[in-house]
Amino acid sequence: MTPKHIMLGAAAALTLTLPACEKTSSDESEAVAPAAPAAAALPEITVTEAELRDNPFRREWTADFGVPPFNDIRDTHYLPAVKKGILEQRAEIATIVDNPDAPTFENTIVALDQTGASLDKVMKTFGNITNTDTNDTLSALESEIYPMLTRESDAISFNPALFERVQAVYAKRDRLGLDEQDARLLELTHRSFVRQGAALSPDAKAEVAAINAELSSLTTEFGKNLLLATKSFKIEVTDEASLAGLSDDFKNAIKVDGEDKWILTVDRSVYETFMTEGENRDLRKQMFDGYRLRASSGEHDNGPILIRIAQLRAKRAELMGYTSHAAYQLAPRMAKTPEQAEAFLVRVLEPALFRAKEERADMQALISDDFQLEGQDWWFYADKVRQARYAFDGNALKPYFEIGAVRQGVFDVASHLFNISFTLVPTDTWNPHVQAWDVKDSATGEHLGLFMADMYSRDSKRGGAWMSSFRNASNVDENIRPIVVNNLNITPPAKGEPTLLSYDEVETVFHEFGHGLHGMLTQVKYSTFSGVDGPKDYTEFPSQLLEHWADDPEVLAKYAKHYKTGEVIPLELVDKMNAAATFNQGFKTTEYIAASLLDLRWHSLSSEEAAKITDARAFEKQVLEDYGIPPEIEPRYRSQYFSHIFAGGYSAGYYGYLWAEILDADGFAAFKETGDIYNPELAAKLKKWIYEAGGMREADDLYRNFRGSDPTIEPLLKNRGFIEDKPSEG
The residues annotated with a catalytic role in the active site are: 512
- Residue type (1 letter), 258: G
Distance of CA 43 to the CA centre of its chain: 33
Contacts of 200 (CB under 8 A, 6+ apart): 34, 158, 208, 319, 320
- Is 395:555 a contact under the CB 8 Å cutoff? no
Contacts of 568 (CB under 8 A, 6+ apart): 556, 557, 560, 561
Contacts 24+ apart (CB under 8 A), 35-39: 35/160, 36/160, 36/161, 36/164, 37/160, 37/202, 39/155, 39/158, 39/159, 39/160, 39/161
What separation in angstroms does the CA of 417 have from each of 77, 82, 679?
Answer: 42, 41, 8
Helix axes 160-171, 75-97, angle to 10 degrees: 60
- Rounded to whole angstroms, the Cα distance separating 224 from 253 reads 26
Sequence-ordered alpha helix ranges (H) in 436-540: 503-520, 536-539
- Rounded to whole angstroms, the Cα distance separating 319 from 325 reads 10
- Is 396:300 a contact under the CB 8 Å cutoff? no
- Is 337:323 a contact under the CB 8 Å cutoff? no
Q: Indicate the pairing of strand 262-265 with strand 234-237.
A: antiparallel
- Rounded to whole angstroms, the Cα distance separating 593 from 613 reads 23
Give the 3-state secondary structure percentages of the chain, helix then strand then coil, rounded to 5.
Answer: 60, 5, 35
Q: Is 660 exposed, middle or buried (0-12, 13-18, 19+ CB in 10 A)?
A: buried
**SS3 per-residue string spanning 521-552:** CCCCCCHHHCCCCCCHHHHCHHHHHHHHHHCC
Render the burial of 684-696: b for 16+ CB within 10 Å, e for the rest: ebbbebbbbbbbb
Q: Where are the beta strands (DSSP E) in 203-274?
A: 234-237, 262-265
Sequence-ordered alpha helix ranges (H) in 368-502: 378-390, 403-418
- Rounded to whole angstroms, the Cα distance separating 47 from 66 reads 26
- Rounded to whole angstroms, the Cα distance separating 177 from 401 reads 53
- Rounded to whole angstroms, the Cα distance separating 221 from 647 reads 8
- Is 334:659 a contact under the CB 8 Å cutoff? yes
- Rounded to whole angstroms, the Cα distance separating 548 from 669 reads 10
- Residue type (1 letter), 380: F
What separation in angstroms does the CA of 111 have from each of 76, 84, 181, 198, 562?
Answer: 31, 19, 15, 18, 55
What separation in angstroms does the CA of 278 have from each of 379, 505, 683?
Answer: 10, 19, 43
Q: Indicate the pairing of strand 483-490 with strand 447-456.
A: parallel
Helix axes 585-603, 338-367, angle to 10 degrees: 140
Distance of CA 652 to the CA centre of its chain: 14
- Rounded to whole angstroms, the Cα distance separating 83 from 61 reads 19
